A and B are shown apart, each in its own frame.
Chain A
Amino acid sequence: MSVEAWTTVFVIISFILYLYIGWRSRVKDSKGFFVADRGVPAVANGAATAADWMSAASFISMAGIISFLGYDGSIYLMGWTGGFVLLALLLAPYLRKFGKYTVPDFVGDRYYSVWARLVAVVAAIFVSLTYVAGQMRGVGIVFSRFLQVDINTGVLIGMVIVAFFAVLGGMKGITWTQVAQYTVLIFAYLIPAFAIALILTGNPIPQVAFGFSDIIEKLNQVQVDLGFAEYTQPFANKSMLDVLFITIALMVGTAGLPHVIVRFYTVPSTRAARYSAGWALLFIAILYTTAPAVSAFARYNLIDSLHNKTVTEIQQLDWATKWENTGLLGFDDKNGDGRIALTPEEATSEITIDRDIIVLSTPEVANLAPWVIALVAAGGLAAALSTASGLLLVISSSIAHDVYYRIINPQASESQRVMVGRVMVGFAIAIAGYFGVNPPGFVAEVVAFAFGLAAASFFPVIILGIFDKRTNREGAIAGMIIGLAFTAFYIIGVKFYGMSTWFLGISPEGIGTVGMVINFFVTYIVSRLTPPPPLEVQEMVEHLRSPEPDGAPLSDIGEEQLD
């Protein structure tokens, strides 16, 4: 069977699976729709969080980016995992104990203010929308590259699938499809990684092959011979300070992203929330420790098989010609010596490599069967769809729950609330689809926004709301607004108006760290200068800090059967 046939089969099978799960987990009430009845076992929530968190960018692009940055690519590896420690220790257990539906719920109740709630709603929607636009685009790209379907048709198919399980099943449908999607994407990632590790080092476990073979030494040598910096050379592309700030911004942003936080509302207890964060990071770490190995192996392999070869030798490599046809790989014998050379300068380098090719071409480079290539396509789709559905639910619940139910119509009945929720999911899918078909040119630029804004807005006020009883409404609102304004000003100024990186040369990706510190500082000071929060709010904080009553069943962390 050809690659296209296999891909079609895999994509259809996986989509039928998602649709079936969506149909099985359809819900009627608001608790089911917004927080999956709080009945998700810790291990399952861990897998769902991992799929929710790992997007098309993690799956397709990350290994490629690291491959080009070497050591400096670690900002993504650490930034996108280290935040889960903050989440597990500082946020998730308390938010679960608080036990409402959304992130703005906590901000609104803890700071007894409609305005605080609204600021949080706007931030949640903005962060999620920027993110989801990229996911829909990712779905379209996978379709077009593997199935030769038009990108817009691909986006449309993706929209219909997500709409089905998200509108019917709400959070419950999304959760259980995400568990299935995690399974698909992790197999799709690991199989080619095992194969290339085995071929290059004789050891199939990528993590072991990465640490205990001579491949990194050889890669360093090759890099130096070609005039590049050593692969392991730190701070070759970014200064130490910039690496530090970007890593912190990504970590704190991760911990503050609403679609990740809400996942912890779906487990049965505080205890389950703590374990669940551990499972989530374990499942993420399986991919995130494989990725840097794939990056190094693929880079070594690409240089080894392409550099200094004659044009005819390269034409004999099947995968090289195939990827050359897609435009992701390019050869041009600029100096006309009959050999193709890779050099650090773009002007003289005779090979151009798109970063996405690192993951996508691995199965072919490793000479794997066509069905493995098809599995990678299904994995990329799973990564994009799972992240998109989680984000869509945040947008829906921000409007249906926080704005409609908590502000506009507190008397709304159960069925009204669920209906508004469903309509809002549909509405959010339509907007996401629109951006998928007409991608705004600035999508890549605004991803820095999502993390920076989450870091500078939610993270400090949630932490202080739990760990500092004296923090009040005035402090939280002032902190969020000033933190957001500073971060937005810096990012917009540098990205769009050519402002210099005047703050210690920190790039826009890392400025969220500064915004976060400013937010902490402002919130703390303003709270001390204004009246303390009312007694019932202080009691609520006291309640969050006390141990859960006895009798939480063991099954809540997944030690019993999953049902």
Chain B
Amino acid sequence: MSGSVERYSSISQEQEEQAKAQRIRAYWRANTILIRNLLIVWGFVSLGCSILFVPLLNHISLGGVPLGFWMAQQGSIFTFVILIFIYAIQMDKLDRKYRK
């Protein structure tokens, strides 16, 4: 009888291990997808709107300033700050969801 209990507990332990490994994998996948999406925005705003598309965007005027120029000297920096806080807040959510 004691033998069967042992076998039972070792099976449930194995299952728990597997569930845990799966949970960590899911957490990591969610994390990397979030990072990828935020970095796409990062690249689009800084390397795209503030460098590559500047000649184009400068035809548009924001307030009294050409948009491409404003993006490069102000807009991109504001975006960077927002991106980091979005990441921290979203990761809090993922932490709560996958932590056990």
Q: Which residues of the other chain, B, contact A277 by a CB distance below 8 angstroms?
A: 84, 88
In the complex, the answer to whether B47 meets A285 with C-beta atoms within 8 Å is: no
Q: Is B60 an interface residue, CB under 8 A from the partner?
A: no
Question: Do residues A78 and B77 form an inter-chain contact, with CB atoms below 8 A?
Answer: yes
- A244 near B47 with CB under 8 A, answer yes
Residue A26, interface by CB 8 Å: no
User: Which residues from chain B contact A548 at a C-beta distance below 8 Å?
Assistant: 95, 99
Main secondary structure of the interface of A (DSSP, over half): helix
Q: Flag if A282 contacts B81 (CB, 8 Å).
A: yes
CB-contacts of B38-94 with A (<8 A): 38-39, 42, 46-47, 50-52, 54-55, 58, 62-66, 68-70, 72-74, 76-78, 80-81, 83-85, 87-88, 91-92, 94
Chain B: which residue is nearest A217 at the CB level?
A: B64
Interface stretch of the complex, out of A85-93, A333-341, A418-426: A85-93
Interface positions, chain A 214-267, Cβ under 8 Å from B, are 214-217, 232, 234-235, 240, 243-244, 247-248, 251
Q: Knowing A274-B91, A548-B99 are in contact, say whether A85-B84 is a contact too (CB < 8 A).
A: yes
- Binary interface encoding of chain B residues 16-58 relative to chain A, with 1 for a CB under 8 A from any of its CBs, else 0: 0000000010011001100100110010001100111011001
The yes or no answer to B8 lying at the interface (CB within 8 A) is no
Q: Chain B contacts of A217 at CB under 8 A?
A: 64
CA distance A70 to B39 in the complex (A): 27
Bound complex: CA A55 to CA B99 (Å): 40
The size of the chain A interface, using a CB distance under 8 A, is 51
Q: Which B residues lie within 8 Å of A85 (CB)?
A: 38-39, 42, 80, 83-84
Are A84 and B54 in contact (CB-based, < 8 A)?
A: no
Say yes or no: is A281 at the interface (Cβ < 8 Å to chain B): yes
Q: Are A240 and B52 in contact (CB under 8 A)?
A: yes
14 more A-B contacts (CB under 8 A) besides A85-B83, A278-B81, A278-B88? A71-B54, A74-B50, A77-B77, A81-B76, A82-B46, A88-B84, A234-B58, A247-B47, A247-B51, A248-B47, A274-B88, A277-B84, A292-B73, A547-B24
By a beta-carbon cutoff of 8 Å, the part of chain A in contact with chain B is 66, 71, 73-74, 77-78, 81-82, 84-85, 88-90, 93, 207, 210-217, 232, 234-235, 240, 243-244, 247-248, 251, 271, 274-275, 277-278, 281-282, 285, 288-289, 292, 467, 542, 545-550
A-B contact pairs, 29 of them (CB 8 A): A71-B54, A71-B72, A81-B80, A82-B46, A82-B80, A84-B80, A89-B35, A210-B65, A212-B64, A217-B64, A232-B58, A232-B65, A271-B92, A274-B87, A275-B85, A275-B88, A277-B84, A278-B84, A278-B88, A281-B81, A281-B84, A285-B80, A289-B73, A545-B28, A545-B31, A546-B27, A547-B99, A548-B99, A550-B99
